[in-house]
Structure 1
Amino acid sequence: MTVTTSRHLTPAGPEPAGVDNRLVVGGTALTWRSLPTPTLPDPAAVLARSAVHALTAARQHAVHGTELLLSTVSRVDAVTRTELLTAGFTVGVLDDDGVHPSAPARPRAAEAGRLWLLTSGSTGRPKRVGHTLGTLTTVRGDQPERTWLCPYAPGTYAWWQVVTLSLTQPGQHLVVVEPDELDDWPTVAATHGVDAASGTPTFWRRTLYRDAEALARVPLRQITLGGEPVDQAILDQLREVFPTARISWIYASSEAGASIVVHDGRAGFPVDWLDRETPGRPTVSVRDDELVVTSPYHGAGLAGPIRTGDRVQVLDGRVLITGRLDSDEINVGGSKVSAGVVRGVLTGHPAVAWARVTGRRAPVLGRMVVAEVVLAPADPSGADTGVPDEAALVRWCADRLPEHAVPRRIRVLTDIPVKETLKSDV
């Protein structure tokens, strides 16, 4: 069954303020206003075939208030699909012909204005987190005119952050790259005048690794990182390519919303930000080495302090987010090792473009530290910077880490791995 498109829907509210902002999708110039207006089921779990279909669903929600969960087809497996049908969603693939729906197992009344996000599932199966456009829209003041790059998978928290900025703020234009354009996104961005871009550290590292010269040709004035731990090495690498751009990193999650924003070019945030209470702004704390956030942008039913599951370390007056509690800590013979700290040491090597650090079973010690790295490409100037072997990288770590934290095995990969979420699960 197909639900055909209609251009005669009665809006539940006014068009969003950014409705005339420019959109570029697949090389085609559009505006929010010019997008088609399919009739969406209510409540609907919409699986978008492409970026333009995802943007269409977002605008429809903004105008009509349909209860909406938005995702790509690939992020919803058979188990998740069954869970959504059981929860009363009509699940439908949205393409050029409209929505192709499967009826819910237990129909229910829609919750007007509700937006649902699927978490990445990095700590288990994806969960649903309820929001509204209000809790997802965290940039509210006047902004300088920008053309933003959006490389994120539709329906993720980071995607909604960029999309709500363009929907709600005049002068915030959007260039969306499809998955098959990711390897060549700097060319797309330069062609369409992108001067602001948001991505994960893995996204930026992969771009620098593949073609730093092409990246340097993009006239970026605003660079934003988030979604993974942000270390000093990637901030410094981006500063070298873009000496005059504002470089920001953001800590945000589906549950707590956008909670920390740092613009000073340094990893971590000042320790005096802890437990600082400001009306209308998030409060961040540390309990048992875990980041705890109390935020006005929290998901539905998550008011109050939220234990994020992210491990932090206080060092030299900065609070560093090193990784997930359940994966960051490696117990080596009774001594605790932070995988994030070791990763930061490895990526601090001038010849290392990316690193992943994990624990492996070992006799006597129980676990030992091991790593995978991708080495930086040769210097385009022809300078001989040297290619480190495993022994050289181990020595680099040994000079900067306690003995039990030094990786015992380091494997070299030929490319930086990346998931649809633009993360590499480090």
Structure 2
Amino acid sequence: MTVATSRAGSTAHPEPAGIDNRIVVGGTPLTWRALPELTLSAPAAVLAHGAADALAAARHHATHGTELLLSGAGRVDAALRAELRDAGFALTELVDGESRDEAPTRVRAADPGRLWLLTSGSTGRPKRVGHTLDSLTTVRGEQPARTWLCPYAPGTYAWWQVVTLSLTQPGQHLVVVEQDQLDDWPALAAAHGVDAASGTPTFWRRTVYRDAAALARVPLRQITLGGEPVDQAILDQLRALFPAARLSWIYASSEVGAAIVVHDGQAGFPVQWLDRVVPGRPALSVRDEELVITSPYHGAGLDGAVRTGDRVQVVGDRVVITGRLDADEINVGGSKVSAGLVRDVLTAHPGVAWARVTGRRAPMLGRMVVAEVVPQPGTDAEPPDEAALVRWCADRLPEHAVPRRIRMLTEIPVKETLKSDV
């Protein structure tokens, strides 16, 4: 056990079980143990400019238990910095191992062992959700040796899911993708033996769109999707590229943790999982088309049933997550349209790589359905035009749900969170 103290004097914990796992940052092989030792005041809000700094902060928390909020520096604006200092956090901005510190404007006692996550902010300003390393560590059983790709922004729930796996499990190695490497990550992954990767559907779509042949050269045995609604089209594309890999999608959030895990290669989850009570497992239900989850992996103060804000629909024997309640429903002349289901119809077209569906003001109807589409590259046929896609939708959707305007884009948009449409 390494004995050390943080600047605030918290004592060290036993070394994490994965401390000697290999990690690759910016193409440089390291280990968790080889990361630089940080000195942090507690409570600490660490704003990291690079992957190595973020990983060093995670290791510091695992070995010292210092109360920590970790985020990529780009996600924290001036107003949020002031808010964190007012909440008692000492700000430490890390740039290539060098730190710039700002003292809190309100001093308070630290809460040892507490980890804070910032929500994605898709429904407003990011909120703080409290966790511990234990509540973020949802993979506990023995795992086959893997080298995982981590493309997520530091400090997000998805980032912590991959990072805790490597920290707590021997044999779970890590290759971290910096933001400026996202376009070429398959070459990095192939060079360092990545055989497991987790990303949003947008991340996977964008990779297939840019260079499916380069992706196919990565020896993936485990493919995981999460963070956005998962449709059948992207699952089928990945299955075609990697027929022998295990294909999983996960519903997880800062509030309820990793609550749904599906491995059968189908979008949605079985309707039989609703209202099922299994000790130690999340309980799923639907109220007014909203997914409600009671989870043992919840954030601090969120025990009991949590309304997720995500809209679901039962389609056959599956429960399909279509999108956020406040964004998914479009009222067209009094008829409700699910933007997510229209999006899934568009992405099911073999000539469509990506689609986003929204509502636009319209005379008489109030709103009409419109879409943005990125055509699929490398197909033998001509890419579909607007008229062809309207006909495709008209054959599969009620008349009021058919997009009236479809704009073609040349690139799949992506945010720092690896999401594009929430």
| CA contact 1:40–1:99 (8 Å) conserved in 2 | no
Superposition pairs of residues 181-196 of structure 1, within 5 angstroms: 181-196=181-196
Is 1:361 aligned to residue 361 of structure 2? yes
State the partner residue of 1:282.
282
| CA contact 2:209–2:353 (8 Å) conserved in 1 | yes
State the partner residue of 2:412.
416
Is 1:90 aligned to residue 93 of structure 2? no
State the partner residue of 2:207.
207
State how far apart, in whole Å, the 2-side matches of 1:90 and 1:109 are.
Answer: 12
Please list every run of 5 or more consecutive structure 1 residues that lacks an aligned counterpart in the other structure: 1-5
Deviation at 1:95, TM superposition (A): 2.8
| CA contact 2:72–2:155 (8 Å) conserved in 1 | yes
State the partner residue of 2:391.
395
Deviation at 1:40, TM superposition (A): 0.9
State the partner residue of 2:235.
235
| CA contact 2:117–2:129 (8 Å) conserved in 1 | yes
| 1:39-66 C-alpha deviation (Å, 9 max, x unpaired) | 1110010001200000000000001000
State the partner residue of 1:273.
273
State the partner residue of 2:16.
16
Deviation at 1:8, TM superposition (A): 5.0
> What is the TM-score when the length of structure 1 is the normalising length?
0.97
Is 1:343 aligned to residue 339 of structure 2? no
| CA contact 2:229–2:323 (8 Å) conserved in 1 | yes
Deviation at 1:278, TM superposition (A): 1.0
* Worse-matched range after superposition: 197-206 or 93-102: 93-102
Deviation at 1:129, TM superposition (A): 0.4
Moved >4 Å (runs of 4+): none
Deviation at 1:261, TM superposition (A): 0.1
Is 1:160 aligned to residue 160 of structure 2? yes
| CA contact 1:370–1:410 (8 Å) conserved in 2 | yes
For residue 14 of structure 1, what is the amino acid of its counterpart?
A: P
* Worse-matched range after superposition: 98-107 or 370-379: 98-107
| CA contact 1:35–1:56 (8 Å) conserved in 2 | yes
| CA contact 1:38–1:99 (8 Å) conserved in 2 | no
State how far apart, in whole Å, the 2-side matches of 1:50 and 1:97 are.
Answer: 9
| 1:289-342 C-alpha deviation (Å, 9 max, x unpaired) | 000000010000000000000000001110000000000000000000000000
User: Alignment partner for residue 386 of structure 1, among 368, 382, 385?
Assistant: 382
State the partner residue of 1:225.
225
| 1:245-295 C-alpha deviation (Å, 9 max, x unpaired) | 000000000001000000000000000001111111111110110000000
| CA contact 1:7–1:37 (8 Å) conserved in 2 | no
> What is the TM-score when the length of structure 2 is the normalising length?
0.97
SS at 1:313's partner residue? strand
State how far apart, in whole Å, the 2-side matches of 1:94 and 1:344 are.
Answer: 41
SS at 2:18's partner residue? coil
- Percent identical among aligned pairs is 78
SS at 1:94's partner residue? strand
* Worse-matched range after superposition: 99-108 or 18-27: 99-108
| CA contact 2:4–2:12 (8 Å) conserved in 1 | no
Superposition pairs of residues 275-354 of structure 1, within 5 angstroms: 275-354=275-354
Deviation at 1:97, TM superposition (A): 4.5
State the partner residue of 1:3.
none
| 1:205-245 C-alpha deviation (Å, 9 max, x unpaired) | 00000000000000000000000000000000000000000
For residue 364 of structure 2, what is the amino acid of its counterpart?
A: V
State how far apart, in whole Å, the 1-side matches of 2:97 and 2:266 are.
Answer: 48
| CA contact 1:189–1:218 (8 Å) conserved in 2 | yes
Please list every run of 5 or more consecutive structure 2 residues that lacks an aligned counterpart in the other structure: none
State the partner residue of 2:65.
65
Deviation at 1:7, TM superposition (A): 9.4
State how far apart, in whole Å, the 2-side matches of 1:278 and 1:145 are.
Answer: 29
State how far apart, in whole Å, the 2-side matches of 1:9 and 1:22 are.
Answer: 25
Deviation at 1:425, TM superposition (A): 2.2
Superposition pairs of residues 111-122 of structure 1, within 5 angstroms: 111-122=111-122
Deviation at 1:9, TM superposition (A): 3.7
For residue 352 of structure 2, what is the amino acid of its counterpart?
A: V
State how far apart, in whole Å, the 2-side matches of 1:41 and 1:97 are.
Answer: 16
Deviation at 1:96, TM superposition (A): 3.7
State how far apart, in whole Å, the 2-side matches of 1:336 and 1:272 are.
Answer: 26
State how far apart, in whole Å, the 1-side matches of 2:135 and 2:206 are.
Answer: 31
State the partner residue of 1:404.
400
| CA contact 1:7–1:38 (8 Å) conserved in 2 | no
State how far apart, in whole Å, the 2-side matches of 1:139 and 1:8 are.
Answer: 28
For residue 398 of structure 1, what is the amino acid of its counterpart?
A: A
For residue 45 of structure 1, what is the amino acid of its counterpart?
A: A
Is 1:376 aligned to residue 373 of structure 2? no
